[in-house]
Structure formats: C-alpha cells, structure tokens
Structure 1
Amino acid sequence: MREKLRLNNNWQYIPNYIEGMEKVKQWQSYELVHLPHSNIELPYHYFDEKLYQFISCYRLPIQVDKKYTHKIGILRFEGVMAYAKVFVNGDYIGEHKGGYTPFEFDISHALVFGKENMLTVIVDATEREDIPPFGGQIDYLTYGGIYRQVSLTFYDKLYIQNAQIKTNKLYQDKKELEIDVYTHNQTALETVGEFKLVMTDDHNHVVYEGNKQLDIGKDIQKGHLVFEDITDIQLWDIHNPKLYTVSLTLLGDTYEDTFTTKIGFRECKFKEDGFYLNNKKIKLMGLNRHQSYPYNGYAMPKRVQEKDADILKHECHVNLVRTAHYPQSVHFLNRCDEIGLLVFEEIPGWQHIGDEAWQKIAINHVGEMIQRDWNHPSIILWGVRINESMDNDAFYQQTNDAAKLYDTTRQTGGVRCIENSALLEDVYTMNDFVHDGHDMVLRNQQDVTHLDHQVPYLVTEYNGHMYPTKKFDQEERQMEHVLRHLRVQNASYAMDNVSGAIGWCAFDYNTHKDFGSGDKICYHGVMDMFRTKKFAAYAYGSQVSPDVEPVLQPVTFWARGERSIGGVLPLVILTNCDYIEFKYGDFPAKKIYPSKSMFESLPYPPVIIDETIINPSEIGEWGMLWEDCDIIGFVDNKKVIEKKLAKSPLPTDLRIQADDSTLHAEEKDATRIVIEALDQYGNLMPFYNECIHLDLTGVGRIIGPEVLTLVGGSIAFWVETVNKKGSIDIHVSSMHFDKQTLSITVQ
C-alpha cells in the first residue's frame, strides 16, 4: 500500500551555490524556507531581470522509517525552474531540464532506512540555451526556485505508476470506462493482477464498482481495462461540471496499491463549423493566463492558484483559458475541472526553436505534460508547437505524434502567428493581431490558412501589445481598450467557422527589457498584476446571463475634463441588461437600449451613448455645472442593478477585503488582500494615490513591501502562513483614513 510523504516544509536554502556543497554534511548557515519557494523576492517593477537568474541550493533532512525498507521510494518534483540536479546523501540521483513539467526518481537504493537522509537539489535558474523556452528572447520571466510541491511516495514492489481513464458511450444509458493502466513490477515475477474499481460522486456515494484481472509482466507495462454498464451518470460540462472520483486498486498477496483521480464524462471536438462539447456547439470566449505574481514570481500555493481560476470563471465569465506558454499548476487545473472552465494547455516555448537536443527536450515535455494531465476533463486541446515559431515540419510532426501516442482522446493545436503555416495538427490555432482600431478586426480563416477548404480554427491571441493599457491610463485609452476587446469577440461570434477567440491576456505580467513598458511590465491584461480589474475585464464579465450576475459598468471616471475635448461622450456602458435608464442632474431619465447595430453578434452588446442619444446641452456643455449621474439596469422591466456617479467624488471609505478568512497551517498557504479607495457612492477613485502602511502580527508574513501606494485607486498584497496555528492580524493605516485591522484564522 502506498504512503505519500509531503516534503514541502523546513528546507534549508542557500542562494549562492558553491561547487561540492551537496556533499557537505552540515551547512554552517542557511535560510529555513517552505515550498513553494521563489529563489528571491523581487520588486514589483523596474528590477534587473538577472536578479533571479542564478544557481542556488536546497536541502532537506528526511527521517525514513524502517518500515519502508522493502518499499520502492519515488521522489517527485512538480516543478523546478529551470534545471535541477538531485542528490541523496551526497550521491547523484538524476537531473531534469525544464521548469514547467514534473519529474521523478526512484531513490530506494540511496536511502538509509531508520536514519536521517539528506536530500539536496541544485537549482539553476539561468536562461540556459539548451532548455526550452530559452535560446532567444521571450516575453515573460521564468522565476527560479523549487516553486511547486515535492513528495516522496513509498510503494510495494508492484504498483500502479499511472492510469489514463477514458469515458465512452457517453450518449447511452450504460456508459463505459476504458483504462490504460501503467504498472511497475519490481518483483521479478510475472503475475495476474486483480484490479478493483470504485467510482464515487461528489457526495462520496458509490455509483459503480467493478473487478477485472490483467496479466502483468516485469518492469513497466501498459495494460488495458474496460468497465461496462455504468448507469446514472451526469455529463461534465461548463454549466454542470460533474466530477467523479475513480479509485483503481491493485490487489495481491504481497502487494496492494490504489491509484485515485477525478474524472468527468464528456466529449470535446473542434469541427470546421466550431467547437462542440457533448455534441452541443459552444462559442469559446477566453483569456490567456501567465502564472506569475508580484514579488513571488511563480511560487504561490494551492489556494492562490485556485483563485485565478475562480476569477476567470466567476468574475470575467470566460469559458476558456489558455495556459500561456507552458503547463501550469495542477491546483489551477483541478479548480478548472471543478468549476467548468475549459483549458487549452501547451508546451513551454516562445518563438525560438533550438537545436536537435533542445527539440528532443521539447518532445519530452509533450509527454510529461500529457501524462500528468490526461485525466482533466477541463482540458480540451493540447498545444504541441512552440508559441509563434516558424514552421519546422520535421520537429512538429514529432511533437504531434508524441501527443497522439499518449492521448487519442483530444485534438492537437499549435499556436502560430504566420499565414500559410503547415497544418500538421487537428486545429489551426492562430494569434491574430490584425485589429489596430480600424475596420479589419479578424482575418478570414482561409486568408490565414491559404487552404481551399475549411478546417477547425481557433484564435488564440488578440489585442495585447497592440494596445497596452494601464489601470490608471486616461479615460479615452481605457475606452478604446474596451472596444477593441468587444470588437474581436463580436467578430468571433459572427464567424461560424471560428471556434472562438482567446484574448491576450488576463493579467499584466513582468517581462524582459526587450518587451513591455519601461518598468518591465507588460500592461496587456484586462486586470493588473494584483488581479484587480481594468474596465476591459467587464467587456468579458458582461457577456453572461443577468440570471448569473447583472452587470452595469460605465467606462468613465465621470469628470468633464478627463477627455481630450472635454465631456464624457461617447459613453460606453458595459451591461447585460435589457436596457438602462440614464439620469443626469435634473434632466428627465432616458431609456437607452444596447447598441445591437454596432455589435450585432455579441451576446450582450454595450450601451453606447453619443450625441444622437443625448444632446450635449442635456449633459452639461463646457462651462455649465457638472452634476451627478444615476444609471439603472433593467431585466424583464425590473430594476436589477444601479450605479451612481458623483459630480464631486470624495474619499469616503478605504475598503479592505481578504479573499479568504481562514488559512491552513500544515503547509504554506496564502491569500490576497485588496485595498480600495472609494467615494461616497462606493466607486473606485482612480487617481487617489494614497500611501498605505501595513503592519502584521501573528503567524504569517506579508509577501512584498510593508509600505504600498494605491495604483489606479487600489492595491493588493498577499499574506502567507509560516506553518503555525493561530491568527494573523493585518493593520492598515494611511494619512486620510482611520486605522483598520483585518484578522485571518490559521488552523
């Protein structure tokens, strides 16, 4: 029976590796750290990108009980950036090239049972040209460290290494599970394995049990099992993401092992006329995600990874995320499974293709990615090209073949930015940045592919660097930013032969000097790096039924002198309401409907108020008094939402909200705290740049500085635990507002 030891606490860390230190029995000085860990805490912006590009060393004392003497010990790393060299008790175990995929080693032979063992990892975070995505320039940073979890699992000498579970006969009353099971037999004897399968629902009720036998040979072997006549099953989809837990147990006289995973019964298919989930056509509307955060880079724990999925699904209301440009945390993917957020996952890379050895590693990354993630129902497409690279048919035939070898249930795509690219994959995935604010919004499919027929087609990026926009930018730019996202989505909805479009991107991110703004931030997101919204986030958030959430967001700071020529017209109001009532000052309220003529294909067009709807004299011409505004949204002739805009906004409230009020103590945990300066009507004050002082007492620490400045009227920070139970009190003070205290329980 397997036993898993989680190795995430109390690592010894030295930032500057010295040759031979992996063999030194005792280090004289070190920092005690917990995983996930970033090799250095970075500034928010304006920092040298070389700061994290160094070789460091981690070590962990492990007491290994004698009861494991005859077991197989598998050491697993979920992610180390970018090259790892592993030692146990000073003996070399192995190495791994690549920071985004997992790797593992059998360390049974190196362990001393009943005594303390020393696990040492040399971590090279430099941009080595022999490791994807490196070798050229890349528009993102690859923060160093052991930034994902580590475990040591002990198995009997015959165990289940992995299992891919396929769901068949989905539209029949009696469904089927087809399982490719990978066993590892170190008993030196061939045997007949007894497999017991138990499937439970989300209430832990058993919905199916079955038993099968399978001949098991020596070493690693792939076997095939089929379990039939499974009834009373709900299909997984984006509105009802029904998950089932599958436990597959291998039983014998001298061994027992259980492999457990979650699955969903679903079918996904890209066709020439769009994307289908369970035979139902769905227009895909998505955003790209980088997994990076301020200060900590990639090293954020489970709860924070899950929160990103929640933000995309429940705040931006998209139905698809692309993991640009690499496999991302399993915690993020698990949450996508749970909430019904579709995923397009791709291998690491950005434009550059290296030599033959580099390409071999990239092909290995295909296998590592798919074997880790093949049971996630949320994943609908494998990306098997280096993002935006030139054609290389020999290389990409191999990556595509590798994907097909490991998974026959999903299609493949390869993100390109060039026309007339060879289509070796199943789906033509294209970064289309043609829209520059003029009439051309998306290219016609066949103008891109140069084929004489339609193919499955998905737009994987748009906007981004074409119109970077800061949260604190002037109103006209923010409005155009919103309109560009709306125009592309409108065009996507209008084209039946386009499966959908994925905007670049969800969150701002740090980048190299070769890209982005002068402060080394790409302001390409519809949210900032702290996951707080720009107006463009509501362009997506408003494309949801008002039954889910009524949305009413005017794209304005409501000031007559904010725009170049004064006034607020044209005024874009992002909403999913049937109509609005707009009232300015003492003028009569006007009923105004969404602009369906301009956005005829968008599910919920915005309201656009211009001089054909409201005369400038009715909204106060230059030199007249400026007044309050009241906007009310109606659905089925009922008021569902209201927004008031102040003629003279005054700082009234400093709102402090934590994403979570309770954290866990057993391993590193963290939560975000958002601070917003609000006026008398509860609106954000975008130009109020108050200095905020933080003071933390209790069993936690603030990630980043303790003195912050509001940016665009808000700021956020993360608080992490220190593996102790108790409470965390965060005291927030500023010059204008009274001191406030927010408490978090750690249990």
Structure 2
Amino acid sequence: MPELISFNENWLFEGTQQVRLPHTAVEVPYHYFDEKCYQRAFTYEKTFTPPNGWQGTELSLLLEAAMADAKIYLNGDLIAEHKDGYTPIHARLTDGLTDGENHLRIVIDGSENPEIPPFGGRIDYLCFAGIYRDVWLVQNAPLAIETVKIETPDVLNATKTLTAQVYFSNPQKKVISGTLEATLKDSEGNPIAHTQAELTGERLLLQMDNLQNIELWDVDAPHLYTLDLALKSPHGDDHHTTRFGFRHAEFTTDGFFLNGRSLKIRGLNRHQSFPYSGYAIGRSGQERDADLLKYDLRLNLVRTSHYPQSTAFLNRCDEIGLLVFEEIPGWQHIGGEKWKAESVENVRRMITRDWNHPSIIIWGVRINESEDDHAFYTETNRVARALDPTRQTGGVRCIEDSELLEDVYTMNDFNLGSHEISGSNRAARPLRDQREVTGLDHDVPYLITEYNGHMFPTKAHDQELRQIEHVTRHLQVLNAAFGAKGTAGAIGWCAFDYNTHSDFGAGDRICYHGVADMYRELKFAGHVYASQGEPEGGLVLEPVTLYARGERNINGILPLTVLTNCDSVELRYGTATPIRGEPDRINYPHLPHPPVVFRLEDFPEDALGNWGTAWDDCEVVGIWNGEAAISRKYCAAPLLTSLSVVPDATEIADGQDVRVMVRALDQVGNKARHAADPVTIEVKGAARLHGPALVPLRAGSTGFWLRAEGTGPITISVSLGSLGTTETFLTAI
C-alpha cells in the first residue's frame, strides 16, 4: 500500500486563519442566510518539507474532495485542476519539489459555475464550499499499483471465482517488469488463496478459481474479504489492499434479488450536509450516519442523492450491510456540451473510485429528474457498462413515458399528494402501476426512488395532526410498494432535513422533507421505517401523539396510531380497563409490521375523558411473544424535569467529529416537544464546537457536533434555565 501521510493540519485559510481539514469555507447559520456568502473563491496554503528519502519515489497530493472548482499550485506552478466537487483530486508533486520548504496553494471556487455539474440551473440543495474531506500526502514507488477492479462472476455456485484487473501507475515511464503476488484473505486476515504473475504491461488480469467455503456478503451478514497485492520490481516494492465482498445483485421484472433471494428494498435518500459545517464532517460522522440509517431507521438501502458521497460512509455501508444506490451529480438541469462531457467524466470517476464496494448495487447515470436526452444518456450508460459490467444502471426521472436507456426504470413517484397541487378531487393512489408510468406494454425492472418529501413537508415541531398525516403518507406508500409484486421497492424522500437555496423549502433555507431533522433526531415518521425492522433486531413502540387533550383541532388523542413491530399493543388509561389493539392489516395488508390504530369506537363512553373532565396518565405497552415487552408512559401534567445530553460516543479520535444530542425531558422521560428555550453550550478540553454556543430547542431537542483537537479529556456543559447545567465527559484519543 502506498504510504498515506495525513495532510489535514496547519493550513492557512485566506491568508489569516490556521485551520484543520476537513473544513467548510463559510460556516453558514442554521437558517435564514444568503447562500451567496460562500459562492466565491477561497485560498488554502501550506508550507511543508518532503519526507526523508523522498528522492527516487513518487509523491503526490490526494484531496478526497473539494467544492467545487479546484486549482492546485506547487511553488507557484499550476499542477492540477479539477471541476468535480465530489470525487478525489490527484496532484503529482514529484517534479516540482525541492529538498527544503515547499509551498502549496489551493484555490477553491464555490461559485456555481454553469460548466460544472450540478450547476447551471436551480438546485434544491446547497453545495457549500471548501476542502471538505481529508487530504493526504501519498508516497510510493515509481512503478506502483494504481487501482484494482475485482469481480466475482459466479457467487451462486458452490465453488467461486475471483478476477482482479490490476492497473499500474508509471509516471516516470520506467521499464515495466517484476512480479505481482496476490493473496486472498478472510475477515480474520487468514490467507485462503494465492497466485502470482509476471508484469507484462500497464495492467494485468489475475484470476483465482475453485474458491471453497466462501461466505456471501448480505444485508444481514456482510462478510468481507481482502485482496492483498504485493509488487516486486527493480524500481521498488509496492503493496495494495482492497476490501470487497462476494455477492450477486439483480433487478428483474419480479423485483430485486440479492444472492438469489427476493428482497424488497426499503430505503431513504440522504444528503451529506450537516448544520453549520455544511459538508465538512469527517470519517466518524459519516460512519454514524450509515449506522443511523441501518440501525435506527432499520433501512436496507440508501440512495446518495444526488452525488457520490464519502468513502468513509460507503465503507461503513459495506461493514454493516446497507445497500447503496449511488449516482452522479445533478438536479433536473442538463447543460451544454462541456457540461455534458464533464458529467460523463463524473460517471467515470464515480465508478472507478467505488467499483469494489459490495454495498453498491446500482449506478445512477442520469441527472436526477431531468428530461430525456438520447445521445447524452446513451453515452453515460455506455461508459458505465464498459467500466463495470457487473452492476446495472438506473436513471432517476419524474416524467412519464421517459425513454428507458438504463437497465432499471427508476422513478420518483409523487402521485400521493399530486391531486392537492392540481386541484383534482380524485383520491390519489400512493403509487401508480409501472406501465402507467413507463408507457410500455410490458414490465421492466422497476424501482421507486423518491416519494412524499416536498408533497407534505413536516417540521419536527409541527402540530400533532400534521405529524399524523405525515406518518400516514409514509405508511401508505410503503404498504403499496410492498404490495406491488413487480416493484423492487421504494426509497423515500428523504432521511434528513437539509439546507437549500432560496427558491425551495420553507423560506428559511431549509427543506423540511426528512423523517428526521438536520440533527438526525427522528420525527414521528422516522419510526414508520424503524417499525418495519424485525423484532429480533429490537422492539419499536412509538405512539404518534404529544399526549395532550387540546393539542389537536378536536378533543383528545383518538384515533391513536402506534408505530410498532410488536404482536399487539395495550393502552392503559388511568384506572380504566386496558384496551388491546391488533396490527391494522385491513388498511396496511402488505406491510411487514402494520401500525396499531386505536379508534374512538374501541373504547367505552368517557373512557378517555371528555372535555372538562379529568385528564389522566397513560401507558402504552407492546406485547411480544405473549408478554409485555416494551412500554411508554405519558403523564397528564408534564413538567420540564431534566436535561439529557447524550454523545454518540464517549471516545473520539483526534480530528474526528462526534454528535451530541440535547433533549428536554418530562418526569417520565418523554421529550417536552413544545420546549423552545435556548440552551448554552460550553466545551472545555481537547475539542471545539461546530456552530454557535447558544441555540434554541426545536421540538424539545437540539444537537451539535464537536471535533476532537489533540488528545485528552473533554467536558461538555449544557445549561437550560431552571434545569441548570448538565455535564458530560468525553475523551479525545
């Protein structure tokens, strides 16, 4: 493996400020800001001395990503340019280096250049600016392994085959000679196969046959293997390690199949942005997002809308078994010929960076929601298939009768709610039949890639009846997707609220389209997805209520929807006889775990109290395997009782980020969802705070991210009015 030297520290930003990467050029406010504040050029500078013994080796700079138009200068000379804000930038340093101090200057232009995708039209998300992923100094031999493409063509057979197309880097044009050894290792590092070959050119095809006892990568058992390559040549030795998985993924007219078994896709779209820091959250924060999608929301797929995302995020998807639909940058707009040529390069860069991730099951090679363009999309599909024939292509559209050039017809179906826009009196179906959408007289592989979202944006602090409707719409579409035999599944819009341009959202530069807020705190609709996970992975019990008699436009809390994967639910109100509720399989016959809905007719008269009578405490109990297994209590007179401050981890590596959630709780541990008081945040020790130190609660909670700086103890103090101060302790390691 080439030596990777972290190059994140000691950058001079705009000639005045010492910063550490990843970095956002402008820390934008939570909302109500002018997005033009970061749409200009910014400069990063660094002085460095090459490592000892660098002569005779190759040195290069690797920026994992920078937004958006980057120019890199070494000792005053332009050595690299890159017009893609989402894929790596490689800049060869060797020929321009001196033995002593060297000076790097990187100019990042955050302007929305109309020649660079996704820019040129309107975009419903922000792209921010800055060097927002890690930067590395790379040192390797003059003849080195550049990359490898691994394929596993026969994973459903008893014995399996591995092929590896190895590409070599040879910028000094050395005579190519030497030996390449390949060792296949299991997840424990044990060697299970070996081969070697002589170098004959700038690439080499290796093959391992008759592989025995190989475990497949699956969503429930994500087994990973590594291929270790050792190059020995007269020009020096080189090593390269690639992690991958054996798995087979296929979209058919009968749905999606993983390793030969049918799997209904249940996913959400993800933007990679965060409050205040924009795109600039490091590896640990990216990994936490993947964990949240997999374990908190219980999804089996995420779509990287609408651009390639961090390899740290994708690596974590590999590790935990979260499927990925990855696509090129863009939103509705198709630019001119230079723009299209750059978009085709986007396809190439995305696939060559990510082709060994077993989690990725489909390439998105069409600009999201764009019009048909036969020549353009013929080329994007051609490039994708030439680079990676093992995965199918998809092209996300929102128009009917769109030309199908991809392998999978991927459709944003916003039919539910469309009658409200058009003024039609018809009752909207949750999803349309695929032939109605495609205009074809036959079925094709078909996947819903967006639904709901902007059709019914919902804030975490919205009134209860809107929250219930938000929940219901997500339930209805999921139920329809599970019931559509030929549909591979559905990916909702979207996981998290996100900052947007002034043209979109709620007028405050936020799209409240998520089933979680920008701090990743689940709204009620988030529990729709969580409740579809199997009970063995954790029981879910989320009553969709603030539990207050007068919160709704009518008296009381009925009908009461309880999102759960329990067998049944019991409602215990005051001293009244408990009422048992069963999953609503009449309205949601296709869901793995329908909600339990308590209706007024289920109760004796006055059982839950009429207006003007006493309002009592309540308990909702989930029954599983015949026993009370999980419960939620509600008090009739909630009071602000405690302040919960919970970090995602108590140890954090130097330079990494950690989320901390703050929740105002009542006396039985529920969020006080109307609490909107400001909290003050104080951080002492080896960390710094992203964003301001005074923030309001929203729907009873808020959050913030910290970045560890150095090592040692970290003390977080959060204060809220009469509740005083809560301290939490972390360690930077």
Q: TM-score range by the shorter chain?
A: over 0.9
For 1:202, the equivalent position in structure 2 comes to: 187
For 2:707, the equivalent position in structure 1 comes to: 720
Aligned 1:648-659 pairs, distance under 5 A: 648-659=637-648
For 2:370, the equivalent position in structure 1 comes to: 389
Give the counterpart letter for 1:579 in structure 2.
S
**Contact between 1:65 and 1:115, CA under 8 Å: does it hold in 2?**
no
Tell me the percent identity.
46
Would you say 1:61 and 2:47 are equivalent positions? yes
Give the counterpart letter for 1:72 in structure 2.
E
Worse-superposed segment, 221-230 or 50-59:
221-230
For 1:503, the equivalent position in structure 2 comes to: 492
Would you say 1:549 and 2:534 are equivalent positions? no
Deviations 1:480-534 (A, max 9, x none): 0001001000000000111000000000001011000021100000000000010
SS of residue paired to 1:731: strand
Aligned 1:169-188 pairs, distance under 5 A: 169-186=154-171, 188=173
**Contact between 2:156 and 2:248, CA under 8 Å: does it hold in 1?**
no
| Partners of 1:705 and 1:10 in 2: CA distance | 23
**Contact between 2:152 and 2:161, CA under 8 Å: does it hold in 1?**
yes
| Partners of 2:162 and 2:175 in 1: CA distance | 26
| Partners of 1:555 and 1:706 in 2: CA distance | 32
| 2:257 pairs with one of 267, 276, 296 | 276
**Contact between 2:394 and 2:408, CA under 8 Å: does it hold in 1?**
yes
For 1:320, the equivalent position in structure 2 comes to: 301
Would you say 1:330 and 2:294 are equivalent positions? no
**Contact between 2:415 and 2:428, CA under 8 Å: does it hold in 1?**
no
Aligned 1:164-563 pairs, distance under 5 A: 164-186=149-171, 188=173, 190-216=175-201, 221-436=202-417, 438-563=427-552
| Partners of 2:155 and 2:325 in 1: CA distance | 22
For 2:568, the equivalent position in structure 1 comes to: 579
SS of residue paired to 2:435: helix
Worse-superposed segment, 119-128 or 56-65:
56-65
Give the TM-score normalised by the residue count of structure 1: 0.95
SS of residue paired to 1:716: strand
Worse-superposed segment, 199-208 or 487-496:
199-208
SS of residue paired to 1:736: helix
Aligned-residue offset at 1:53: 1.1
Give the counterpart letter for 1:673 in structure 2.
V
For 1:566, the equivalent position in structure 2 comes to: 555
Deviations 1:186-221 (A, max 9, x none): 5645544422112223322223322233412xxxx3
For 1:73, the equivalent position in structure 2 comes to: 59
Would you say 1:736 and 2:722 are equivalent positions? yes
For 1:11, the equivalent position in structure 2 comes to: 11
Would you say 1:662 and 2:690 are equivalent positions? no
Would you say 1:84 and 2:70 are equivalent positions? yes
| 1:44 pairs with one of 30, 34, 41 | 30
Would you say 1:644 and 2:633 are equivalent positions? yes
**Contact between 1:582 and 1:591, CA under 8 Å: does it hold in 2?**
yes
| Partners of 2:84 and 2:334 in 1: CA distance | 15
C-alpha spacing 1:123/1:212, structure 2 compared with 1 (3 Å): same
Deviations 1:269-319 (A, max 9, x none): 000110000001000000000000000000001000000000000000010
SS of residue paired to 2:162: strand
| Partners of 1:418 and 1:165 in 2: CA distance | 36
| Partners of 1:616 and 1:208 in 2: CA distance | 73
| Partners of 2:239 and 2:566 in 1: CA distance | 51
Segments of 4+ in structure 1 off by > 6 A?
Answer: none
SS of residue paired to 1:344: strand
For 2:97, the equivalent position in structure 1 comes to: 111
Aligned-residue offset at 1:95: 0.8
SS of residue paired to 2:600: coil
For 2:423, the equivalent position in structure 1 comes to: none
Give the TM-score normalised by the residue count of structure 2: 0.97
Worse-superposed segment, 200-209 or 726-735:
200-209
| Partners of 2:305 and 2:175 in 1: CA distance | 44
Aligned-residue offset at 1:229: 2.3
Aligned-residue offset at 1:655: 0.8
Worse-superposed segment, 327-336 or 197-206:
197-206
Worse-superposed segment, 467-476 or 47-56:
47-56
Would you say 1:690 and 2:677 are equivalent positions? yes
Would you say 1:608 and 2:597 are equivalent positions? yes
**RMSD of aligned C-alpha atoms?**
1.3
Aligned residues: 725
Give the counterpart letter for 1:732 in structure 2.
V
| Partners of 1:466 and 1:551 in 2: CA distance | 27
Would you say 1:709 and 2:682 are equivalent positions? no
SS of residue paired to 1:405: helix
Deviations 1:366-408 (A, max 9, x none): 0000000000000000000000000001000111111111111
Aligned-residue offset at 1:615: 4.4
Aligned-residue offset at 1:106: 2.0
Worse-superposed segment, 175-184 or 84-93:
175-184
